[in-house]
Chain A
Amino acid sequence: MPRVLQQHNAAFRYDETLQPDGTMLPGWESLLAYINGLDTDQRARRERDIIRQMRANGLAYHNDNSITDSGRPWTLDLVPMLFDRSSWDTLTQGLTQRARLKQALYQDIYGEQRLLKEGTLPSPMLYSHHGYLRDLVSSESGEPNTNLLPMVTCDISRSPAGEWLVVNDICQYPAGLGYALENRLVLSRVLPRIFKQYRVRRIVTYFRHLQRFIQGNDTQPARCVLLSYPPSHPHYFEFAWLAKYLGYPLVETADLTVRDSRVYIKTITGLQAIDVIVRLLDDTEIDPLTIGNKSSQGVPGIVEAARRGGVRVLNPIGTGVLDNPALNSVLPQICQSLLGEPLLLQSPATYWLGDAVQKEQVFSRADELLFKHTGSHSQLLDPQLLSESEKTQLHEKINLTPHCYVAQERTDRSVAPGLQNTEFVQKQITIRTFLVSNGSSFESMPGGLCLPDNISDAGTPAAEGQPGSKDVWVLSNEPILEDTLLSAHLDAANYGQTDDDLPSRIAESVFWLGRNSERLESTLRLLRCILQLLVDDNRPLQASLSSPAMGCLLKSLTAATGTPPGFLGRGGKKRLTQPDRELISLLQDSSRIGSLSNSLQQWQLNASAISDRLSADQLRVFTRLSDLQSALGSLQLNPDLCSDAIALNQTLEILDELQLVTSASTGLEHENVTHSEDWLFTMLGRRIERAHQISVTVNTAMAVDQNNPRVLESLLRLFDSVMTYRSRYRSGLDNRLVLQLLLLDEINPRSLAYQFKCIHELIDALPGRRTAGNLDPISRLAVAGLSRVRLADPETLLNQDRDARQNLHKFLKVLQQLPASMADAVTGQYFTHTEKRQELGHFRVPPTGLLTAVDNDESGVSH
């Protein structure tokens, strides 16, 4: 694109693709030529590829609404941002210096405070920033602080003059790191040829340095966790990614507890000490005891533990103070003072309004500038976009606390080409760069997260939450060594988590994942059988509804989903003749516990809580489930569903696919997951739930009609045992044989006996139970279930007389209760063995003058 054209715009912007002489940079030329050579279909296919891969990487368990709220760069541009080697190396020098400077500044602020004493750092600039944590300042000021700052992150953009400027410092944790990683993995797969040909430098080095830093000088592998916000947080996805890639467990504050200056993770076998916490949350969210945040988040005592050397927190707590944009107004002097070097990378000219002279000058041309509160994460305020009253408000706020505000010159950011719906577009860009400590200095990640933005003439900065991103490629002239973090795990210094115990919260989540997936499958089968019967039956609707088989299925549906009254309780008779509304509700009403839609939701919630532990294939399954859930939700179902063949078939189509996907998921559980403790808990959840489903369903069905062959056939179909029955007995449907197969046959994986056999084995394999003669509540229940089915006498249960029928009913009734008791016992022993997460009761004692004031007039003093 010729530069002449650009200059017609209101503002001039640097074009990333051009050299100073106006010719296109070689890397860009061939990249754009390659994409130009693709026809629309080929481009569209690659764009779809990107979307498919990113979804498969695990967004499935956010519903569509939360994706738009998340601020996540939802799309990845097919066109990366390119750097040639020499310009990247120059930029890196500036970035590395900035990281060293931030580290030195951190050490000074929480150590000697030389800058404060010599006046280079104006004290109100520091004191008024909410990131300055006075609790972390040593009283014996003068003691040097030698803590390192492992991860420094900053956003840069290029001025019209071609100079890179730092527009944002992010020193608490490297937000966006997970996205940068994902972008790289996806784009290198979508453009493999170009990626190879360009010898793009690998970003894995960053993660390797980070692992080394975490390991430190310990000879033992450091026990490290990534501490993040809960899954509802918009950035949780990238944290889960990071955790999986680095090979450390992802935990939430509720997983940790502090005992006498050590930090522990609560696991199924008790408390386990940890050495390093990589925190992926703000200073204010870490420790409610010390930092005094009003929200009761955080792990009380962590600051004190870190202070006493009981745990290393990375980045150290208190680093939020380094993000203060006002620092930019004095950074050249600070750099001179701390490093003895001139500052290499500038920022857009920044004025601190705590300085009376600067404030006056800023107010004289306020509309030309942009404003920001020093403590806010949000974007800069543009007075040109504010109403008069909003401007007055801003003015007043600044006058009250001028120290908390900065003004900044507008800069027009550079532009780079991108692809949007197969068409080329120009976007203004900002690049998030990541630096990691190597002990003595810093290494920059060769790459980063590029945030493109629609071109705006006002010179305003990037808006938060733009749903786009680009990968950043640094081209190299040298051969690239193929490298992956996975090999790091084969090293002797293995930081793996193999011997880590399962956190209780995770164990509980996978247990419920198992239960809910089984519940989901059972609901699905029932609904499919019912709808299929309606489609297949050629008789008039009322005739088919009043058939015993249908009655059995509908009543079982109510019993198995636990949604009374439904077809069993009050009004059940009427609903049996007009089941449409109830069926629609059980299909689509996500707010009704037990409905198909609700079970799908629950399952996804459980899955998202453990997303860092799921395999890529499992994540793909969840993506598909999420799609199917939306499809189910958007079906238009009318109250004449049962007689509407088209609607029935449409619904069946979705249910069929759901069935297929859930079966795939079950298969993956067996084949792709190592049979470790989390697998045990998932399986236990499944078996317990299935035992419950079988006993409830058979009991309900037998109450309808014991001998009707259609009822028996439906039962076999529900438990996927038709083929087994045929191959085993080669006879017509016999009530006794059916019940034998479904209840007492230990070889049929769908039988009740089989479930109790498995439960018994699983419970035996759980941690802490291998001691002989140990019959605690869990084991007792397991033995009770198994012996009950083993000792059952088929004659007295399965015969056709009344006594046998009553015996069967009692037998099933007892077995129906067992699974719930087992679930309670497992919960009691493994999930809540440490204290259950409870409300933190904050108490603060006022001066007692408020509570027990003494009114002592005689002394002449009242206080």
Chain B
Amino acid sequence: MKLSVRHRTHYRYSVAASQSLNQICLIPRDTTTQRCLQAAVVVTPAPNSIDRRVDQYGNSLATFNLNSAHKECDIIVTSLVDTLDTPARLPASAPVDTNVSLLKDLHDQDALMARDCLLSSPSIPMDYSVDPIIAELPIGETPVLEYATMLMNHIYTTFTYESGFSTLVTPLTDIIAARKGVCQDFAHLAIAVLRRQNVPVRYVSGYLETLPPPGEKKLQGADASHAWYAVYSANNGWHDFDPTNNKQPDAQYITTAWGRDYADVVPIKGVVYGGGAHRLTVEVDVNRTEAPPILVENN
């Protein structure tokens, strides 16, 4: 399936910002189930250059500086991605201990990342906060991929999606106490539960195609970016799980980037001098298409 994505981020500053330095992680990467056919970044006001590089996990990053005074900044990333459906049935996997000891003998990039994903990470420290969830659903001898499915289902059925409930810094203990959250919280929760039980697990950021109610026209800019988790099985690699929708991501999902947690793949991070208070608006459109979007890069 071919999907086009248009992700627009707009900053408006109360006073002029004299300089800003930005790094964006919004260009979809290639995976075993998707190919990014085209991608373009357009920034207004135009920077001298937009530099692209690939980070250690293979994600696409772009950096740019704005060196003269500006009161707003508009960043539009457009891409065209070809996605494949994943097989409906999960392959067989091993229980935790076997999985970890199998991993010890693997040294390819996937396995190295899997080992990194056994440890605490910037936003998910190793502590006791998720122990109540583990008590509800202990892993025991369950094969890791099977457990990942059970956990996805458990979060979906015992937690309520509530937008606006959490912020970037809401700790997992609050999410667990309220049994509420959004996609990022659910992904982080699952990651903490799995890592605490020695299962390699990573954070995936991306998009999801949404369909309008039958008979209605799809709203412009109403799609959203999304987040889920992926578990590593030493027998057959990484597998994705979306606890927000209780679904294994399929051709409707676009992967942008992956890392140990949100902090590794922050969509836009930057430093601005001056600027006062800023207002942020974000619009995302994901559409089925055969024709590529019109791409006019800055340079």
Contacts and interface: CB of A to CB of B under 8 A. Distances in A.
Interface string A123-165: 1100110000011011111000000000000000000000000
Given A141-B109, A855-B163, A863-B226, A845 B116 contact: no
Interface stretch (B35-43, B48-56, B78-86, B146-154): B48-56
Interface stretch (B88-96, B172-180, B229-237, B273-281): B273-281
Nearest to A259: B67
A114 to B, nearest CB: 10
B268 interface: yes
A22 interface: no
B281 to A, nearest CB: 9
A849 B280 contact: no
B21 A289 contact: yes
A482 to B, nearest CB: 49
Contact of A863 (B107, B126, B224, B273): B224
Nearest to B228: A863
Contacts of B166: 850
Given A118-B107, A842-B271, A850 B266 contact: no
Interface in B190-242: 205, 208, 210-214, 222-227, 242
A403 interface: yes
Interface in A156-186: none
A93 B32 CA distance: 51
Interface in A845-863: 845-856, 858-859, 861-863
B58 A863 contact: no
Contacts of B107: 116-119
A858 B212 contact: yes
A854 B223 contact: yes
Interface in B270-299: 270-275, 278, 280, 282, 284
A138 B58 CA distance: 9
B118 A862 contact: no
Contact of A138 (B56, B122, B161, B267): B56
A304 interface: yes
B55 A135 contact: yes
Interface in B140-171: 161, 163-164, 166-168
A257 B20 CA distance: 11
A124 B118 contact: yes
A779 B205 CA distance: 59
A849 B182 contact: yes
Contacts of A259: 65, 67
Given A123-B116, A855-B163, A841 B272 contact: yes
Contacts of A848: 224-225, 282, 284
Contacts, number: 179
Contact of B184 (A117, A128, A292, A847): A847
A850 B126 CA distance: 24
Given A260-B65, A863-B244, A135 B56 contact: yes
A19 interface: no
Given A259-B65, A859-B210, A847 B274 contact: no
Contacts of B189: none
A270 B21 CA distance: 20
A847 B224 contact: yes
Nearest to A846: B168
B18 interface: yes
A128 B67 CA distance: 37
Contacts of B184: 846-847, 849-850
B213 A858 contact: yes
Interface residues of A, number: 57
B168 to A, nearest CB: 5
A308 interface: yes
B264 to A, nearest CB: 7
Contacts of A258: 21, 65
Contacts of A135: 55-56
A841 B116 contact: no
B153 to A, nearest CB: 16
Contacts of A845: 9, 266-269, 280, 282
A257 B19 contact: yes
Nearest to A134: B56
A364 to B, nearest CB: 23
Contact of B211 (A117, A124, A843, A859): A859
A831 B289 CA distance: 55
Given A124-B118, A300-B21, A400 B126 contact: yes
B9 A840 contact: no
B251 interface: no
B137 interface: no
Contact of B182 (A116, A288, A290, A853): A853
B205 A838 contact: no
A843 B21 CA distance: 11
A377 to B, nearest CB: 20
B282 A137 contact: no
A863 B122 contact: no
A843 B270 contact: yes
A844 interface: yes
Nearest to A257: B19
B54 A861 contact: no
B213 A128 contact: no
A135 B224 CA distance: 27
Given A258-B65, A841-B275, A140 B54 contact: yes
B127 interface: yes
B183 A847 contact: yes
B282 A861 contact: no
A499 interface: no
Contacts of B274: 835, 838
B89 to A, nearest CB: 21
Contacts of A707: none
Nearest to A136: B56
Contact of B244 (A140, A840, A846, A862): A862
Given A289-B270, A301-B21, A850 B182 contact: yes
A40 interface: no
A630 interface: no
A401 interface: yes
A827 to B, nearest CB: 17
A849 B226 contact: yes
Given A141-B109, A289-B270, A843 B214 contact: no
Contacts of A859: 210-213
A376 to B, nearest CB: 16
A260 B51 CA distance: 10
Interface in A405-432: none
Contacts of A128: 119-120
Nearest to B63: A304
Nearest to B75: A845
Contacts of A257: 19
Contact of A292 (B11, B122, B247, B273): B122
Contact of B263 (A113, A137, A139, A292): A292
A858 B164 CA distance: 21
Nearest to A847: B225
Contacts of B167: 850
A74 B65 CA distance: 45
Contacts of A861: 208, 210, 245, 247
A843 B63 contact: no
A847 B267 contact: yes
Nearest to B245: A861
B112 interface: yes
Given A116-B107, A863-B210, 17 more contacts: A135-B55, A139-B55, A304-B51, A403-B119, A844-B168, A844-B266, A847-B184, A847-B226, A847-B267, A849-B226, A853-B164, A856-B211, A858-B211, A858-B212, A858-B213, A861-B247, A862-B161
17 contacts: A138-B56, A140-B54, A141-B56, A257-B19, A258-B65, A304-B63, A308-B51, A835-B19, A846-B168, A849-B182, A851-B280, A851-B282, A853-B163, A856-B210, A862-B244, A863-B161, A863-B245
Interface of A: 113, 116-119, 123-124, 127-128, 134-135, 137-141, 257-261, 288-290, 292, 300-301, 304, 307-308, 400-401, 403, 835, 838, 840-856, 858-859, 861-863
